[in-house]
């Protein structure tokens, strides 16, 4: 007998494989679970030693994340009318009052605008360019494609200083447009290459059939190619969003006020009123959500695309 | 309904010439076959007629109008692709309706047309199915439906049966021909299968290396091939080629192969001594012990009512298709008699068939 067989693996090897997968999953997920659980702890619980695995859940972290608070003198504090809302009550329990909203909401929206804006623009430009590269005879096509890819051959941060100076001169520093353009510039090469391979996989005959059926080249692209490229678009969009959403170095360098995204903002929460770990954890948890939701929504397309391709021919 | 005239059509891809100065006419309502081995330029020619490739030179006239520079969408032509190219994200009904939607036809009228076509092709029961799960034959019918729903001037078909398995191919070939006979629309059909071309076509163009080798009815092409290539490409088993050196003059009715005088249709040309090829179809070879041209039987292949006998002769190998009833024994030497009126004579150097009384009216490429 040779070493390979097509029979079922033995119960023992299945058990070992299963255990390894579970261990790996636990190791991978532990930090995430820790962050999410910390976000629901009260201040004292979050820094207690030994760490508390079971605790009284609290929304303190989330309330603190979205508010700024001040501590009043004991007399003034006692003279206050009773709290009107649930979040005021949580703040009062910490011996403080709400001074106003924090910047988190604003920063989070900046991240949404910049992340999704850059993703949309990268996928849009990437798909059009990929279609042209895939379908038309373009002089120096291979060189152009290599040139596009070469923009990824160094870490983007290597050009941080030129970009910083350029942005300052052009007035793009700390603007949404500037950040969208920057993230698009980094992502578009990936988008072109990914989308080109997806579009290469769509037989030309579909467009040609549409051309003969009386459609223009652009209509054929929109109505015949795009619906079939959905898988590729979904995959490309996920990769682009993950980069644009998580990017930290350029965000720190180029944004400070108006257009600051969430990643450089979250660490600054630490300084407000001591080490507010629950608020930091709450910020990180909320920050994770959009990419997770986006990926889960598009996952359906990814799976559909895979089975679609399998039965096409 | 349309007559399509192709004049000096040429296509280059960079340095590669895919189609060289081709000229032929596709009559109104004809089922026209573009036949040739892969890479011969037949698909490129079809795509130029349809408007999917721009010709480098030449003219394409549809009903007298030069369309060679017009986009595909303005030529009023339907195209059936080898892989069918059904839109995978639409169901059967929407696939068939799609060409009508582009014309902005009202919805009720679209529904009526689709229903009519579905009835004609007997696919009414699958109209709401996605195209992904259809059998090859049904996909073919849907592709045809999408082509005929618009009543185009002409149909282009690029090896539409190539993707089907043998069993379906027979059925679809018959259906296609029946459909054409009922609709009477001009059809240009590309194939590399000579049997398919003979079986279905009214006219055939045989192409090789971008050149039209011959143009005519299946019978003309089979009986009077214009070149060695055509003679070799059409027919199964292929025409026998007997090589010899010789010369002849216009009016001669025989040529001399070694000791044997072989009768053939009266020659219309005079040539000096050169290498010649006598072309004989296997079914035009008979065994006759009195005949001076002789061959030795090497092997026989039994095919039911007929058998194919392989012989060796002083002028090269030869296959004969004779009734199975005749008994032959490998090793025997027999006399071979050819049916004179069916013979062709070729120039080995150029491959061209010499003009004789029999092939005077045949179109060369």
Q: What is the mean pLDDT of chain A?
A: 87
**pLDDT higher than 50, residue A312:** no
Confidence of residue B12 (pLDDT cuts 50, 70, 90): very high
Q: What is the pLDDT of residues A172-226, one digit of tens each?
A: 999 999 999 999 999 999 999 999 999 998 888 899 999 998 888 899 999 889 9
Number of H-type helices and E-type strands within chain A? 16, 2
Q: What is the mean pLDDT of chain B?
A: 91
Length of chain A: 313
A95, A71 contact by CB (below 8 A)? yes
Percent of chain B with pLDDT over 70: 99
Predicted local distance difference test score (pLDDT) of residue A287: 93
B36, B212 contact by CB (below 8 A)? no
Predicted local distance difference test score (pLDDT) of residue A270: 62
- Span B237-364: which CATH code? 2.40.50.140
What whole-number distance in Å separates Cα of residue A271 and Cα of residue A65? Answer: 12
A301 Cα to chain B: minimum distance (Å)? 13
A300 Cα to chain B: minimum distance (Å)? 16
What whole-number distance in Å separates Cα of residue B102 and Cα of residue B40? Answer: 34
Predicted local distance difference test score (pLDDT) of residue A303: 67
Q: CATH number for the B4-223 domain, one of 2.30.42.10, 3.90.800.10, 1.10.3720.10, 3.40.50.300?
A: 3.40.50.300
Cβ of A216 under 8 Å from any chain B Cβ? yes
Predicted local distance difference test score (pLDDT) of residue A308: 47
Domain ranges of chain B: 4-223, 237-364
**Residue scoring higher pLDDT (A76 or A220):** A220
Inter-chain CB proximity B85 and A214 less than 8 Å: no
The total of other beta-carbon atoms located within 10 Å of residue B77's CB is 25
What whole-number distance in Å separates Cα of residue B163 and Cα of residue B81? Answer: 10
Q: If DSSP codes are grouped into helix, strand and coil, which group holds residue A197? A: helix
**pLDDT higher than 70, residue A307:** no
Inter-chain CB proximity B89 and A214 less than 8 Å: no
A176, A117 contact by CB (below 8 A)? yes
The total of other beta-carbon atoms located within 10 Å of residue B66's CB is 13
Q: What is the pLDDT of residues B207-257, one digit of tens each?
A: 999 999 999 999 999 999 999 999 999 988 999 999 999 999 999 999 998
Contacts of A219 in chain B (CB under 8 A): 102
What whole-number distance in Å separates Cα of residue A124 and Cα of residue B287? Answer: 75
B88 Cα to chain A: minimum distance (Å)? 8
Confidence of residue A311 (pLDDT cuts 50, 70, 90): very low
Interface of A with B in 182-211 (CB under 8 A): 203, 205-206, 208-211
What whole-number distance in Å separates Cα of residue B134 and Cα of residue B55? Answer: 36
Predicted local distance difference test score (pLDDT) of residue B85: 87
| For residues A152-173, average pLDDT | 90
Confidence of residue A313 (pLDDT cuts 50, 70, 90): very low
Predicted local distance difference test score (pLDDT) of residue A284: 92
Length of chain B: 365
A147 Cα to chain B: minimum distance (Å)? 24
Inter-chain CB proximity A224 and B87 less than 8 Å: yes
What whole-number distance in Å separates Cα of residue A248 and Cα of residue A80? Answer: 42
The pTM of the full predicted model, rounded to 2 decimals, is 0.78
| For residues B39-50, average pLDDT | 93
B99, B154 contact by CB (below 8 A)? no
Confidence of residue A4 (pLDDT cuts 50, 70, 90): low
Predicted local distance difference test score (pLDDT) of residue A306: 52
Contacts of A313 in chain B (CB under 8 A): 83
The total of other beta-carbon atoms located within 10 Å of residue A243's CB is 18
| For residues B48-58, average pLDDT | 93
CA-to-CA separations, B155 to A121, B49, B77, B80, in angstroms, rounded: 41, 10, 6, 8
User: By mean pLDDT, which of A44-58, A262-276, B166-180 is the weakest?
Assistant: A262-276
| For residues B295-299, average pLDDT | 94
Task: Select from B13, B74, B89 the residue whose CB has the most chain A CBs within 10 Å, as the one to mutate to test that interface.
Answer: B89
A192, A152 contact by CB (below 8 A)? no
Q: What is the pLDDT of residues B54-66, one digit of tens each?
A: 999 999 999 999 9
A115, A187 contact by CB (below 8 A)? no
Predicted local distance difference test score (pLDDT) of residue A166: 94
| For residues B42-69, average pLDDT | 93
Interface of B with A in 64-83 (CB under 8 A): 71-73, 75, 77-79, 81-83
What whole-number distance in Å separates Cα of residue A68 and Cα of residue B70? Answer: 69
A61, A94 contact by CB (below 8 A)? no
The total of other beta-carbon atoms located within 10 Å of residue B250's CB is 13
* CA-based torsion, B109, B115, B116, B117: positive or negative: positive
What whole-number distance in Å separates Cα of residue B233 and Cα of residue B237? Answer: 10
Domains of chain A, with CATH numbers?
A: 12-101 (no CATH), 104-311 (1.10.3720.10)
Predicted local distance difference test score (pLDDT) of residue A127: 96
Secondary structure (DSSP) of A146-194 = HHHHHTTSS-GGGGHHHHHHHHHHHT-TT-HHHHHHHHHHHHHHHHHHH
Predicted local distance difference test score (pLDDT) of residue A82: 85
Considering only alpha carbons, which residue of chain A is nearest residue B14? A137
What whole-number distance in Å separates Cα of residue B205 and Cα of residue B25? Answer: 10
**Residue scoring higher pLDDT (A152 or B218):** B218
Predicted local distance difference test score (pLDDT) of residue A273: 58
The total of other beta-carbon atoms located within 10 Å of residue B232's CB is 16
Kindly compute the dihedral angle of the four CA atoms of residues B341, B345, B351, B355, in this order, to the nearest 10 degrees: -70
Phi, psi of B116 (to 5 degrees): -65, -45
């Amino acid at each position: 007998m040779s070493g390979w067989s097509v029979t079922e693996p033995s119960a023992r090897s299945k058990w070992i494989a299963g255990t390894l997968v579970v261990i790996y999953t636990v190791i991978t997920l532990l930090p995430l679970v820790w962050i999410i659980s910390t976000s629901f702890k009260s201040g004292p619980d979050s820094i207690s030693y030994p760490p508390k695995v079971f605790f009284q859940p609290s929304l303190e972290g989330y309330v603190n994340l979205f508010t700024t608070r001040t501590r009043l003198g004991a007399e003034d504090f006692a003279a206050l009318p009773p709290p009107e809302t649930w979040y005021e009550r949580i703040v009062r329990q910490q011996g403080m009052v709400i001074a106003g909203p924090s910047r988190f909401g604003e920063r989070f929206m900046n991240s949404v605008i910049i992340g999704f804006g850059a993703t949309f623009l990268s996928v849009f430009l990437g798909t059009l360019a990929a279609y042209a590269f895939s379908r038309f005879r373009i002089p120096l096509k291979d060189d152009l494609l290599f040139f596009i890819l070469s923009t990824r051959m160094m870490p983007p941060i290597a050009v941080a200083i030129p970009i910083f100076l350029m942005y300052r001169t052009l007035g793009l520093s700390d603007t949404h447009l500037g950040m969208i353009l920057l993230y698009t510039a980094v992502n578009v090469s990936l988008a072109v290459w990914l989308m080109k391979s997806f579009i290469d996989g769509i037989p030309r005959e579909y467009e040609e059939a549409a051309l003969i059926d009386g459609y223009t080249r652009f209509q054929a692209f929109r109505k015949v190619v795009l619906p079939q490229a959905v898988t590729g678009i979904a995959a490309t969009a996920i990769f682009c969003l993950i980069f644009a959403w998580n990017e930290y170095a350029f965000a720190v360098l180029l944004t400070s006020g108006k257009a600051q995204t969430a990643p450089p903002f979250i660490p600054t929460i630490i300084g407000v009123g001591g080490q507010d770990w629950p608020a930091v954890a709450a910020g990180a948890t909320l920050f994770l959500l959009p990419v997770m939701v986006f990926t889960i929504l598009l996952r359906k397309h990814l799976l559909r695309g895979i089975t679609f391709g399998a039965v096409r021919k | 309904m349309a007559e399509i005239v192709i004049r000096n059509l040429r296509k280059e891809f960079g340095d590669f010439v895919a189609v060289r100065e081709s000229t032929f006419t596709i009559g109104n309502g004809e089922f026209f076959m573009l036949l040739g081995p892969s890479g011969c330029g037949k698909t490129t020619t079809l795509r130029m007629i349809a408007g999917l490739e721009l010709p480098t030179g030449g003219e394409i006239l549809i009903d007298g109008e030069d369309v060679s520079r017009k986009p595909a969408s303005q030529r009023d032509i339907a195209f059936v692709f080898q892989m069918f190219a059904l839109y995978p994200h639409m169901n059967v009904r929407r696939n068939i309706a799609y060409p009508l939607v582009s014309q902005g036809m009202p919805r009720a009228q679209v529904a009526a047309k689709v229903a009519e076509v579905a009835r004609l092709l007997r696919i009414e029961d699958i109209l709401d199915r996605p195209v992904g799960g259809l059998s090859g034959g049904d996909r073919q019918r849907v592709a045809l439906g999408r082509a005929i729903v618009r009543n185009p001037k002409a149909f282009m078909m690029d090896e539409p049966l190539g993707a089907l398995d043998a069993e379906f191919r027979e059925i679809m070939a018959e259906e296609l021909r029946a459909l054409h006979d009922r609709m009477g629309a001009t059809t240009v059909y590309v194939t590399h299968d000579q049997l398919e071309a003979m079986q279905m076509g009214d006219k055939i163009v045989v192409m090789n290396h971008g050149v039209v080798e011959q143009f005519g009815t299946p019978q003309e092409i089979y009986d009077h091939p214009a070149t060695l290539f055509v003679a070799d490409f059409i027919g199964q088993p292929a025409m026998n080629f007997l090589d010899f050196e010789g010369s002849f003059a216009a009016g001669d009715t025989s040529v001399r192969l070694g000791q044997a005088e072989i009768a053939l249709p009266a020659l219309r040309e005079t040539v000096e001594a050169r290498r010649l090829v006598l072309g004989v179809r296997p079914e035009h070879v008979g065994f006759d012990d009195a005949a001076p041209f002789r061959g030795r039987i090497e092997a026989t292949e039994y095919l039911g009512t007929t058998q194919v006998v392989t012989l060796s002769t002083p002028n090269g190998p030869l296959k004969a298709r004779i009734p199975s009833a005749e008994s032959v024994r490998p090793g025997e030497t027999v006399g071979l008699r050819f049916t004179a009126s069916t013979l062709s004579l070729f120039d080995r150097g150029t491959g061209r068939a010499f003009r004789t009384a029999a092939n005077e009216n045949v179109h060369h490429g």
